[in-house]
Structure 1
């Protein structure tokens, strides 16, 4: 198992840069980025505004959007409780000058911190170069819960994962029964669930919700190394957004849920190779 150094992006000024590496030469050369959004804050249905325009209303917990290819640039974002009037209400989360760099392929997760506070973590989707018959399993801990181990077929494959860390392992493609247990124990926190791991792709599992409120849930996303668009299926309080996200382009905005003044941490804590 190889551990990587965590990278912190400090939101210390009005300008917020996701600082994501290029996801492909084509996207970078055309000045575009691919962004998906996961809403992982339980009990909070929101309306999302980008550049002063409502881009999605009634965005419910457990929803993982389809990916959007959007122009690289800088965007202002505000997230309000559903139905609130932006003219008088205070946003639940807001950020100005959110920078989305060309070539990025990212999933931005609005979720709870380990202590239960709403926060944001942007993750870079970087599928590994896989041999024939192999798949990549990535788990992202974005729940208000202690550190966990991830088991496949009852055997730990990723251990000691804390919020907001992620970990990856190369495994045989196919269907695997996976569950999430408290780190170092056999106490099941989530699952078991049957996961289909496509050959040559990165399957990303998000553990979100709150252990204290007994609403932990899983969401999954698939990203292919050949540059094809990622896909996602959310499990929990809502399904996927239908019809993609063309409203982002029409509104000239990007949903990149960032909180002003927050410390945003993106870390690939562990990557295991079999």
Structure 2
């Protein structure tokens, strides 16, 4: 099962709203999380294909888990045992005994919710980054918004309701914040320039969810796009 969610680039500004303010935003590098006895449980793992121009097969621990996976696709959740998994990504139909396009050992914790992303570095090299999705509870009527920059593109600023609230979000970092559910008018700007690259756009978010927006693709190749993942908290 897979879903393809694409929205206009301005949806990236979901990460913050003016009502919250810049002090509420936490930007951090991504990475796996470990826990004691993680191998006794399974992790809920989604896979996002953010490398333009190539359809792939995805292997975890030597087993094919996704076939003919197209750019921009987000897989339905897979169940992987907690622990370390060698993730290998091949061009679709390629011999898995050969050299993968990308590979990386990724650790997931039993009971966690994770997204493994295949994407481009800021300079345009293929890479894999694993993110742990925050599923902790939010108060009634609230939502969690997360933006992940996994595109071959410079850093960006986020402006919500006319106010700049996030600056210099770089690949492969993320920013997240708790916000009231509802609709926000948002814009994305090239960092430090004031130049709007998308928006404004009005975007609705649901209560009790973590809405995760991924910016992927390549600015140089003019194929920047977004994928959106929604997880219940």
Q: Which of the five TM-score ranges fits, normalised by the shorter chain?
A: 0.7 to 0.9
Matches within 5 A, 1:54-93: 54-87=64-97, 89-93=98-102
Cα deviations by residue, 1:154-173 (Å, 9 ceiling, x for unpaired): 43332221111111122221
Task: Report the secondary structure of 1:157's partner residue.
Answer: strand
Pick from 44, 50, 62: which aligns with 1:52? 62
User: In the alignment, which residue of structure 2 is the partner of 1:231?
Assistant: none
Q: TM-score, normalised by structure 1?
A: 0.67
1:111 aligns with 2:124: no
User: In the alignment, which residue of structure 2 is the partner of 1:39?
Assistant: 49
1:46/1:191 CA distance change after superposition, 3 Å: farther
User: In the alignment, which residue of structure 2 is the partner of 1:172?
Assistant: 180
1:5/1:200 CA distance change after superposition, 3 Å: closer
Distance 2:39 2:66 in 1: 29
CA drift of 1:129 comes to 4.0
Matches within 5 A, 1:221-232: 221-225=229-233
Task: Report the secondary structure of 1:130's partner residue.
Answer: coil
CA drift of 1:54 comes to 2.8
Distance 1:168 1:40 in 2: 20
Listed as ranges, the gaps of 5+ residues in structure 1 are: 10-17, 23-27, 226-274
Pick from 140, 143, 156: which aligns with 2:151? 143
CA RMSD of aligned residues (A): 2.8
Cα deviations by residue, 1:19-66 (Å, 9 ceiling, x for unpaired): 3469xxxxx696121111111111121112334333322111100111
1:215 aligns with 2:223: yes
Cα deviations by residue, 1:114-140 (Å, 9 ceiling, x for unpaired): 111111111111145433322221111
Pick from 155, 158, 162: which aligns with 2:163? 155
User: In the alignment, which residue of structure 1 is the partner of 2:33?
Assistant: 19
Pick from 94, 111, 120: which aligns with 2:103? 94
Listed as ranges, the gaps of 5+ residues in structure 2 are: 1-22
Distance 1:30 1:86 in 2: 28
Contact 1:20 1:124 in 2 (8 A): no
Contact 2:30 2:172 in 1 (8 A): no
